[in-house]
Structure 1
């Protein structure tokens, strides 16, 4: 490993997943990397890569630093390919990952049976596919509390795909907003596949695609048979759906983020398998 290559990102929580994604790529290519979340870029030693919006971005570039748009994933991928080419392009799977995983819920592998996302986060690829096919999405979120919709809404062009998001944290909201049956809630509990299945039904009344999530993000809330990290997830089109239960490791943020990633990746997988549109990358 050579000396650390500096990467700077804006001082805000939303930069964390991008920082992890960049670090995982660069380190896999054999280059040590240092990540810094900063309010302003260090102009005195303008070297390395800055990703995002900074007040002194123009001065940084004039001093020789590299600046990339975090929402222009093709340009970012081209830069990484040129600067740190990998022996083989990585593929992506979605599922439970160890707490040491760089990207909660997203597993990079060399298996060509997985999806070729080429660095881009799954929400970006889902957005491009849905946008190209004219499909709209509704989310029904309990433990993620709107986090999945927010990840999609953060991307340019999201207004053509994201129709609405339901934050149904309590049981009453699930009943009132999505018509989840009280009998189902009482029989199985809010964190259950039957409830998530009915949440999908409620969301699909408003859109072509749906994601539904209900779980125990922690640190409390565990019940017998449902430890902290248990999340029931579902994703669907009007033609097909998948509902499953996973138990994610890590803190509250890791569980919420991993659940969102797996749900987005699952819906993307349905579209890929159905070959609704072309690659859309």
Structure 2
């Protein structure tokens, strides 16, 4: 068996999802991968790829190491295409996370509809789509607590698209900031499609596009009929919307990240399908 190919990451959790996507690509090419978090790169053994900023990055590159910018997906994809050829490009579908999925919220498969692995992660693709049309996004987040907005804001050019994000963790905040009706909260509960629909309405008063999320990330908080991992999600433009209730596997972070991936991917799918109803997501973005 081939030895593991190392991918080095700085000690920041935000770097992990992109690294998992890169690792998925390389593993599909038949090469086992090892993800390593570190403060400094191992100059005694310059091999593998480093993603992100490191104090000794210049020395790593001088010694022949490969340093790639995790905010430049086009260069990352170019590197992967050149060094890790795939005869068939896996696609990702956004949905409930199986226990063995390589990335929460994104299910890789060998074919079918979905976004091909060589295309940018969902937040990159959404940013590109919205920026090209001059559309702005507002997020209304409860259990993800601003995580979705942060994923958009991490990208260069996000200021043209991300107008604002509402973190409405409490019921009072949902009422005060987004106009969710107290009766809706009382009758249906905060984790409900009815509440998320009203959160979408509140966010859409400020932007062209909206994402809304409310759920039970765990480890506690379960109620009858709503186990840990239950998340109600909504995404919308000014003339169409979609609401879903899903139950995600994993710990608190996995549930939050999966919910964000599904919401971003769902909005992207809604927009591209409305513009090209007979064309799949991959073709419409290619």
Normalising to structure 1: TM-score of the pair?
0.97
Cα distance in structure 1, aligned partners of 2:275 and 2:60: 43
Cα distance in structure 2, aligned partners of 1:61 and 1:223: 53
Other structure's SS at 1:148 match: helix
- Counterpart position of 2:60: 60
Other structure's SS at 1:14 match: helix
Cα distance in structure 2, aligned partners of 1:70 and 1:159: 19
Cα distance in structure 1, aligned partners of 2:80 and 2:109: 17
Normalising to structure 2: TM-score of the pair?
0.95
Pair 1:242 & 2:242 matched = yes
Give yes or no for contact 1:129–1:279 (8 Å, CA) kept in 2: no
- Counterpart position of 1:194: 194
Give yes or no for contact 1:92–1:106 (8 Å, CA) kept in 2: yes
Cα distance in structure 2, aligned partners of 1:216 and 1:228: 5
> What displacement does 1:111 show?
2.6
Q: How does 1:20-59 map to 2 (within 5 A)?
A: 20-59=20-59
Give yes or no for contact 1:117–1:125 (8 Å, CA) kept in 2: no
Q: How does 1:141-156 map to 2 (within 5 A)?
A: 141-156=141-156
- Counterpart position of 1:233: 233
Could you list the runs of 5+ residues in structure 2 that have no partner in the other structure?
A: 277-282
> What displacement does 1:115 show?
2.4
- Counterpart position of 1:263: 263
- Counterpart position of 1:133: 133
1:203-234 deviation per Cα after TM superposition (whole angstroms, max 9, x unaligned): 00000000000000000000011000000000
Cα distance in structure 1, aligned partners of 2:111 and 2:41: 38
> What displacement does 1:25 show?
1.3
> What displacement does 1:99 show?
2.1
Of stretches 214-223 and 108-117 in structure 1, the one that deviates more from structure 2 is 108-117
> What displacement does 1:242 show?
0.1
> What displacement does 1:119 show?
4.8
> What displacement does 1:165 show?
0.1
Other structure's SS at 2:166 match: strand
Cα distance in structure 2, aligned partners of 1:7 and 1:90: 20
- Counterpart position of 2:279: none
Of stretches 78-87 and 181-190 in structure 1, the one that deviates more from structure 2 is 78-87
Cα distance in structure 2, aligned partners of 1:119 and 1:132: 17
Could you list the runs of 5+ residues in structure 1 that have no partner in the other structure?
A: none
> What displacement does 1:274 show?
1.7
Cα distance in structure 2, aligned partners of 1:265 and 1:173: 26
Cα distance in structure 1, aligned partners of 2:93 and 2:200: 23
Other structure's SS at 1:144 match: coil
Other structure's SS at 2:234 match: strand
- Counterpart position of 1:123: 123
Other structure's SS at 2:116 match: coil
Cα distance in structure 2, aligned partners of 1:279 and 1:66: 32
Cα distance in structure 1, aligned partners of 2:111 and 2:196: 30
1:180-200 deviation per Cα after TM superposition (whole angstroms, max 9, x unaligned): 000100010000000000000
> What displacement does 1:259 show?
0.4
Of stretches 104-113 and 131-140 in structure 1, the one that deviates more from structure 2 is 104-113
Give yes or no for contact 1:128–1:280 (8 Å, CA) kept in 2: no
Other structure's SS at 1:45 match: coil
